[in-house]
A and B are shown apart, each in its own frame.
Chain A
Amino acid sequence: MRTLQVAQGVAWRTLHNVVTNPSLLLPSLIFPLFFFTAFAGGLSRISDVPGFDYPYGYTAFQFVFVLLQSAVFGGVFTGFGIARDFENGFARRLLLAAPNRLGIVLGYALAATGRWLITASFLTVIAFAVGMRVGGNGVDLFGLYTLALLMNGAAVLWSAGVAMRLRTMQAGPIMQLPVFLVLFFAPVYVPLALLQGWIHSVATVNPVTRVLESARGFLAGQPTEVGLAYGTGLALVLFFSIWAVRGLRSAERAG
């Protein structure tokens, strides 16, 4: 019970900070929209490449990637906030005050979810407004957004682990760069079958590829590799939960 109370307090404060501070809120809304525009608008001719077989067009194809990207970066941006809390001393006071410190990690994770739901709603409205076609029904779309939510959870737990170990804003690139690479080493622009050479080999073993392909299947109403994608998402959340809790213990030891 006390864990949930701590989590609720941390989540409310973090979300309040984000929603009332335009310099935190606007980038998380504008960046995904910008990538969606640049990819879906600028590269739409790629759907004419022989072998490109996604049935609902390039806008829908890119929407799924940008949705997952926004989920992941929503988690990473929350990690920046954790690092900032350590730099300005708030997190140390929080560690002293919280009756159950696991609630701190849970609170940040809930805040990341809330933050991403705002972004996802905005992005979805824009995508439908520009005429995105969707083949999936309500259950399929629920599957798509739940997968994205798992990625959001994995990303915030990864970033929390880094932030709690290093406790400085300078850890930002360490949180961001691996995530950026893992995302972009997936089939971002074309389906996996159209990738050639080393990038195809890397994308094939990249766990994000399974999630991305499955999410695109959900949007098209042709679910594929669902068990593998959800298994990957849950495994990432579990692994990074351990990573984040160990980070918390590291912060406790540092005082």
Chain B
Amino acid sequence: MSAFADQVYLLGRRSVVRTVRQPANVVGPLIFPMLLLAVNSGGLKAETQLPGFPTNSFIAFALAVPFIQGALFATMNTGTDLARDIQTGFLNRLSLTPMRGIALLCGQLGGVVVLTIAQVAVYLTVGYIVGVRLQSGLAGLVVIVLFAILVGLGFGALGAFAALRTGSGEAVQSLFPVFFVFLFISSMNIPRNLIAVSWFRDAATANPVSYLLEAVRSLIIIGWDGQALAYGFGIAAAIAAVALALASWALRVRMAR
């Protein structure tokens, strides 16, 4: 194994072990989205009676939301862990070693990917148990996993960027409400064409999170919708590219020897 791959593996394993050892970091991303799904799917079931609602199962409609919520938790976990590394001096000690800075980022994000896969498995299993069947079939399942990994990477890199710039776990945590606003002002609970208030519909249309939700949703309730997938993957890839570039730059600044 090359030295770089070795470094990534060790730091990735550390990231995963650290996450697993903090039950709140595992339980939060798994349980909280499922609770919100239960609450909303029960309370908003009546919405399926609206003319033009795309499915008669609200839980199938809402199952896309945990994927994005899980990614938000990934942002917070990555950022908080990295901020703790900065606050405790771990990053400074690391910068005295021959380790390449980018290996730290890759390792940290490797941990995010592992957690994302676990989340997706739980969300889809719960969905299957309550009767949701993917209209896109087994291939759709693979696409959902790939999409979730891409979104998790992008949001995880955003969390890393925030941590590297601020060096404070508290500052990273304070980002959570901002992300939550993006989630709620989206097509999270109702299709955009059914939003009656025009400014809200416009805000949801301008909000990239709507397209991330709609990509996952299309695979669950429609089947294969090229446009929804193109928008979803395009936006997720753009977020990931920008966030990774920002995080790499912030890491170089932080680890200036």
* Interface residues in chain A, defined as those with a beta carbon under 8 Å from any beta carbon in chain B: 23, 27, 30-31, 34-35, 37-38, 41-46, 48-52, 173, 181, 184-185, 187-190, 194-200, 202
Contact = CB atoms under 8 A, between A and B. Distances in A.
Contact of B43 (A34, A51, A199): A199
B195 A45 contact: yes
Given A46-B46, A190-B46, A197-B45, A31 B194 contact: no
Given A46-B46, A49-B47, A196-B45, 17 more contacts: A34-B181, A34-B184, A37-B185, A38-B184, A42-B195, A43-B47, A45-B190, A45-B194, A45-B196, A46-B50, A49-B49, A52-B46, A181-B35, A189-B43, A198-B42, A199-B43, A200-B42
Contacts of A173: 24
Interface stretch (B13-21, B105-113, B117-125, B197-205): B197-205
Given A34-B184, A42-B195, A43-B189, A197 B200 contact: no
A42 B43 contact: no
Contacts of A44: 195-197
Contact of B200 (A42, A52, A181): A42
A29 to B, nearest CB: 12
A38 B46 contact: no
Contact of A46 (B35, B39, B47, B200): B47
Contacts of B24: 173
A45 B48 CA distance: 11
A187 B47 contact: no
Contacts of B45: 195-197, 199
A85 B39 CA distance: 33
Nearest to A202: B42
A195 B45 CA distance: 7
B50 A48 contact: yes
Contact of A42 (B50, B181, B189): B189
B190 A43 contact: yes
B98 interface: no
Interface in B174-191: 174, 177, 181, 184-185, 188-190
B245 interface: no
Contacts of A194: 46
9 contacts: A37-B185, A41-B199, A46-B46, A46-B47, A181-B35, A189-B44, A199-B42, A199-B43, A199-B45
Interface string B9-48: 0000000000000001000000000010001101111110
